[in-house]
Copies of this chain bind each other. A is one copy, B any other.
Amino acid sequence: MAIAAVDSNQIPYYEIPRELRQAIRSGEFTHYTVGQVPGWVHTNICILPKEYAYEFQTFCRRNPRPCPLLAMSEPGDPMLPELGEDIDIRTDVPQYRVFRDGEFSEDVTDISHLWQDDMVAFAMGCSLSFEEALMEAGLPLRHFDTREDVPIYLTNIDCEPAGRFTGKLVVSMRPFKPADAIRAIQVTTRFPGVHGAPVHIGRPDLIGIEDINQSWQCGEADVREDEIPVFWACGVTPQAVVEHARPPICITHRPAHMLVTDKRNAELAAL
């Protein structure tokens, strides 16, 4: 097993997704997955009762930028064979966030006791994959330098509704020099399965963001004098929308504590 200290907190470091999932399932590993198993796809997770799953699937199809659906389970079946060997969604995510009637209830490290035989698990692409592509292209990511979370904002852009699932688009923002912003658009265009190209660039006011320094959640903006803000659709969007739909139960990953899969980021490249 490949383990190395990843930072001063002595978080073990894994290179092989299956080995990290085993450590998660056994309860050894409950940390965030950012920085783990580089090159492999981490996914956002949303688990809903079947009664809500059909509408949510439709919502994903209508809003592929914030909700790029990579895989979903059969109703009641906790396995996700499309994403890798022996992936059990009840145990293989380091921390889960439980919502009841749309309200945050608790964070847990295992949902075996909450699993219902009508539940459907959705796995969606996440920004870690396109950020890896940006870094490989030599593009600097500010929040990696500052070790802050990426700032996210609630926009005035309506998602395409699907039944009870309605709401505004949430975006993440990364600042770039203009020529790098163009390159970032090119690089992320290749990855539609993990949010793809930006949805907006340069003018926060046009999408309802009055003050770029006031992020809705997470980190500081820090857009420098020679930079422009670039906005990508964000995987927090489905969480916000699910809160609004108020299903009796909904389980997501805890932010940054993702499902790691046996798919390579490079496999998701469209061209």
Contacts and interface: CB of A to CB of B under 8 A. Distances in A.
A181 B197 contact: no
Contact of A202 (B186, B201, B271): B201
A185 B200 CA distance: 12
**Copies in the assembly, this chain:** 2
Nearest to A189: B186
Given A201-B201, A228-B201, A271-B271, A206 B178 contact: yes
B201 A226 contact: no
Contact of A179 (B181, B200, B228): B200
Contacts of A179: 199-200
Chain A interface size, under 10 / 10 to 19 / 20 to 34 / 35 or more: 10 to 19
A182 interface: yes
A203 interface: yes
Interface of A: 177-179, 181-182, 185-186, 189, 197-203, 206, 226, 228, 271
28 contacts: A178-B200, A178-B201, A178-B202, A178-B203, A178-B206, A179-B199, A179-B200, A181-B201, A181-B202, A182-B185, A182-B197, A182-B198, A182-B200, A182-B201, A185-B185, A185-B186, A186-B186, A186-B189, A189-B189, A201-B201, A201-B202, A201-B228, A202-B202, A202-B203, A202-B228, A203-B226, A203-B228, A271-B271
